[in-house]
Structure 1
Amino acid sequence: MRALILVMDSVGIGGGPDAELYGDRGADTVGHIAEACARGAADNGRRKGPLAIPHLVALGLGEACRLATGRVPPALGGPVHSQAVFGCASELSKGKDTPSGHWEIAGVPVPFEWGYFPKTTPCFPNDLVERLCGETGIHGIIGNCHASGTAIISELGERHMRSGEPICYTSADSVFQIAAHERTFGLERLYSVCAVARRLVDPLNIGRVIARPFIGSAATNFRRTGHRRDFSVPPPGQTILDYAADDGRDIVSIGKIDDIFSHRGTGRNRRGDGNDALFDCTLDAIDELADGGLLFANFIDFDTLYGHRRDIAGYAAALEQFDRRVPELLSRLQADDLLIITADHGCDPTWSGTDHTREQVPILVRVRDRAGAIGKRNGFSDIAATVARHLVLPVGTQGTPF
């Protein structure tokens, strides 16, 4: 009897009840991708035609979209498996960022507002920059603005390699991001600079400092690597991971889960460069996961490679590739395992800007002797409550099991 939580990062299914407060009324990541595919607007060399994700549809994704928006997106209609449980959930946490979404999935909604950097250039306080340089020995920083990560590396990467000054930037999220070349600057040196920055931004209530290493020799071939690392603040309460760890359960975290939870209760971590590699890690970990164990995985490509870059065709292709591997996942399940596939927020590639979108998320479940709809859930913490009940873990009162 084990539990698995798989987070399809940013795969939202329609604006939440409060989406208008975030400028996201009408956002719908899955729905808008499916509509674009249906009219041929997402055809390219990687994929063509209507969105083809039959295994996620069989788990209830189309019906979860119906619950969230009142409609089933094009090509997502079809029968739901007799052992599938499906629903949708609206976020309670303030914000639409990665830590808030994951922490709430794990049973700890975020009741406070994060700190953000202003949309000015420069955007970082002078004393923060001075202290960062003084404590790390770097001569200065470049960037110091709101930017797309790939764009600013292309723009400033060569200058960075000549000067040795790291590229520092932020976004609409509560983040301080530092990009540096893995070879000319050094990966471990980048991590050490980020560790200092993490301490310095704590008084500003910044959620994450993110190391963004890249390789290449010029703007035409710079590429971010899979050695990204997030320096997050710890969750403000006990998560399902903490409760499982306290009870001595076997825990495996996949991808950036350990960073998101500040390495607290995350057990053995496995990383991979991209969704397919992360899927391989997940399958291997399932084979090793002990009875009573918990696996928590994040699949990052949807968000980082396609959502933020507003690449509709790429996002559609990523969904289809993930779907093709779902049968491998289901074949690894034992009879009494609980599988939950969900998301942490949206990142509608048809939306303006490059930010996340405030959306409802799907809850797709496979568990023995259960089937049907669980309706619209008020908060993501019902996921943690359900996992706790399945694993017979003593937990707090946040969330209602479904």
Structure 2
Amino acid sequence: MGKFKRAFVIVLDSYGIGQEPDAADFGDGECNTLKSIVGSSKYDTPNMKKLGLFNIDGVGCGEPVEKPLGSFARLRELSRGKDTTTGHWEIAGIVSERPMPTYPDGFPADLIAKLEKAFGKKILCNKPYSGTAVIHDYGQEQEKTGGLIVYTSADSVFQIAANEADVPVDELYGYCKTAREILQGEHGVGRVIARPYVGKFPDYQRTSRRHDFSLDPTGDTMMDALRRKGLDTIGVGKISDIFAGRNVSRSLGINKDNVDGMEKTLKVMDEDFEGLCFVNLVDFDMQYGHRRDIDGYANAATVFDKQLGEFMAKMRDDDVLMITADHGCDPGAPGTDHTREYIPLLIYGKHVKEGVNLGTYPTFAMIGATISDMFDCDLKTKGESLLPRFIQD
């Protein structure tokens, strides 16, 4: 429809807005990430409020505004999962019919034996574990044996930790690449993750040289569609890792934190590109959701909202902004796992209608379909474009 030159999709990782009808199938009871953090004294997001966050169907918290500045919707996950990879893939257009494998009891013995043979090293731990606790509990054994600490979580992940003094980072990446080649088919976990750390017991510290090795996307994505037309697809944060680098024309790399991710995005706004800037802000999930830190999560939302104000002030007439999430991770819920929740969709720009409640839709893939439609690209997806409903005539 020719009115948009640049689209910015910002994923607030785990910023769910209420349990989905099938939440119990995923081990979840009542859950609502937004409701949990809104109750904190640290929560203050006037910009998201103005965009219509609390006007979205079924949010059940906060105060709606009389006339939101943008259009807004609630999206349900159609894929059989509640993890980062599945959520982002669905945003981009891929609905995953089967859940990615998880290993609550650790990886099977025959698979571990195969990996040990391929690595030429002993595998330690092989259990679901906290990333900080596992290096504390197995770091000394890792130093003595020269082995590799392998652990998982509630997500579909295979994580390898090692002290950089024993296993240089490039070598650790090599083991992860080997694991990625082996972990296919029935053991095709969403991500193989390198988790380097430094220090001596008990003062180990994980470093910023983490790296994710994802499965290749199993279907067509909005980045594929845009690249077929020669348009830009810029990734900020984990985006390139999540999509195994496929048709991400440029990656600005892993963020130090949410603030760094938004600073990178604000700098991208100074560039004269045409296409998509796809942003992941993982701190909401990694630092606060999994750790069930309500005040920390709320404060992170407040800090993001201030940077959102800077972003909105810098927007050009042919820009469009979409703010969304990839799943929930309710810091007020029991346990430490993700939660199966609806996600918000806030849409803002000069050519976006104000105050339009787009309603509730059955798949996150509405976003990928809409982005593709903005740039007149063909995308094979179960989502449908929302563009005709919110574009200004």
When normalised by structure 1's length, the TM-score is 0.90
The alignment of Structure 1 onto Structure 2 pairs a total of residues equal to: 378
Q: Identity of counterpart residues, as a percentage?
A: 40
Please give the alpha-carbon distance, in whole angstroms, between the structure 1 residues aligned to 2:143 and 2:260.
29
Unaligned stretches of 5+ in structure 1? Answer: 38-48
Partner of 1:104: 90
Q: Deviation digits for residues 322-356 of structure 1, max 9, x if unmatched?
A: 11110111123211211100000001112122111
User: Of residues 366, 372, 390 in structure 2, which corresponds to 1:388?
Assistant: 372
Q: Does 1:88 align with 2:74?
A: yes
Q: CA deviation at 1:23?
A: 2.1
Aligned alpha-carbon RMSD (Å): 1.7
Q: CA deviation at 1:274?
A: 1.0
SS at match of 2:183: helix
User: Of residues 157, 178, 193 in structure 2, which corresponds to 1:210?
Assistant: 193
Q: Deviation digits for residues 260-300 of structure 1, max 9, x if unmatched?
A: 11110111001221111111111112222513x11111001
1:11-22 alignment, distance < 5 Å:
11-22=15-26
Partner of 2:205: 223
User: Of residues 234, 244, 248 in structure 2, which corresponds to 1:262?
Assistant: 244
Q: CA deviation at 1:79?
A: 2.5
User: Of residues 46, 50, 58 in structure 2, which corresponds to 1:68?
Assistant: 58
Please give the alpha-carbon distance, in whole angstroms, between the structure 2 residues aligned to 1:150 and 1:343.
26
Please give the alpha-carbon distance, in whole angstroms, between the structure 2 residues aligned to 1:131 and 1:83.
56
User: Of residues 29, 36, 49 in structure 2, which corresponds to 1:57?
Assistant: 49
Q: Does 1:290 align with 2:273?
A: yes
Contact 2:213 2:241 in 1 (8 A): yes
Partner of 1:350: 332
For residues 161 and 318 of structure 1, do their structure 2 counterparts lie closer, same or farther at Cα, with a shift above 3 Å needed?
farther
For residues 82 and 114 of structure 1, do their structure 2 counterparts lie closer, same or farther at Cα, with a shift above 3 Å needed?
closer
Please give the alpha-carbon distance, in whole angstroms, between the structure 1 residues aligned to 2:157 and 2:66.
39
Please give the alpha-carbon distance, in whole angstroms, between the structure 1 residues aligned to 2:222 and 2:206.
32
Q: Deviation digits for residues 365-387 of structure 1, max 9, x if unmatched?
A: 10324122111111101111111
1:11-50 alignment, distance < 5 Å:
11-35=15-39, 37=40, 49=41
Please give the alpha-carbon distance, in whole angstroms, between the structure 2 residues aligned to 1:32 and 1:327.
23
Please give the alpha-carbon distance, in whole angstroms, between the structure 1 residues aligned to 2:189 and 2:256.
26
Partner of 1:132: 115
Please give the alpha-carbon distance, in whole angstroms, between the structure 1 residues aligned to 2:26 and 2:272.
39
1:145-184 alignment, distance < 5 Å:
145-184=127-166
Unaligned stretches of 5+ in structure 2? Answer: 387-393
Contact 1:106 1:241 in 2 (8 A): yes
Please give the alpha-carbon distance, in whole angstroms, between the structure 2 residues aligned to 1:163 and 1:92.
45
Partner of 1:314: 296
Please give the alpha-carbon distance, in whole angstroms, between the structure 2 residues aligned to 1:281 and 1:357.
29
Please give the alpha-carbon distance, in whole angstroms, between the structure 2 residues aligned to 1:397 and 1:130.
39
Q: CA deviation at 1:227?
A: 2.1
Q: Does 1:279 align with 2:279?
A: no
